[in-house]
Chains A and B, each alone.
Chain A
Amino acid sequence: MTNAADGSVLGDDCITYYSATLGGAGALTEIPVIIDDTISSERRAVESNCRGDAEIAEHTGKPKHSVSGTLLVKRGTVGATYEALRDAYVNNTILAWAFATGDSADIGQYIFRIEGRLKRWEETRPDNDTVKVSFEIAKAADNTYASNWSTVTS
């Protein structure tokens, strides 16, 4: 294995994987073309307003993850990945997802893993040759796999 390039960042080289096998045990299949992967996390919060305080503070609680991205497929030949993901959306199936900062064969890449359902499937079909599917993934409530970050060690 080679080392990840210094300073590798989320960008063109990011790779998204999925698996129908849950629990972190399944082989992860690359999704060919995904752009604008976004891993959004925000903690529940409530304002703390104490008598005598000079400013408002916030209690922060558990984080909520919302992952989004855009899948690009070729019109007329959308491919097996598109069909698998579309079926997962239609059937409300939980999938394992992995978002890597680069080629996960490279030591040092970071990978975020979550198991969840496709919450949103927004397919746009502009003129030209590309179909764009903007999607959002929500952590599944009936799944106990803890979302996690890991790094490739070898």
Chain B
Amino acid sequence: MASVKLGQVDEVEFIRADGTKFTAKLKVVGVVGQQADGADQGSAVSTSQEGGDNGRVQTPE
């Protein structure tokens, strides 16, 4: 997914129910699909034990 990175700061305008506006800076602290080092996650993979796979079920993504 694009457009959002961990640590980025967005300056966002908010409009209250009474119509007043203000701006806040939002620092992104968690993004779906990103770990702290920016690596992708979400792929479930099978790991084989030494000596071969013992019939472990693999997850298609």
B38-57 interface code vs A (CB 8 A; 1 in, 0 out) = 00001110100000001111
Q: Is the CB of B15 within 8 A of A27?
A: yes
Q: In the complex, how many residues of chain A place their beta carbon closer than 8 angstroms to a beta carbon of chain B?
A: 39
Chain B residue contacts of A111, Cβ below 8 A? 26
Number of A-B contacts (CB under 8 A): 111
Interface residues of B in 1-57 (CB under 8 A from A): 1-4, 9-10, 12-17, 21-22, 24-34, 42-44, 46, 54-57
B contact residues, range: 35 or more
Q: Is the CB of B55 within 8 A of A27?
A: no
Query: Of the candidates B2, B13, B27, which one forms a contact with A28 in the assembled complex, judged by CB atoms under 8 Å apart?
Result: B13
Q: Which of A42-50, A70-78, A121-129, A130-138 contacts B (4 or more CB under 8 A)?
A: A42-50
Rounded to whole Å, the gap between the CB of A133 and the closest CB of chain B is 16
Q: Is the CB of A48 within 8 A of B43?
A: no
Chain A residue contacts of B14, Cβ below 8 A? 17, 27-30, 104-105
Q: A104-B24, A154-B24 are in contact. Are A30 and B15 (CB under 8 A)?
A: yes
A-binding residues in B (CB < 8 A) = 1-4, 9-10, 12-17, 21-22, 24-34, 42-44, 46, 54-57, 59, 61
B-binding residues in A (CB < 8 A) = 1, 17, 23-24, 27-32, 44, 46-52, 59-63, 65, 98, 104-105, 111, 144-154
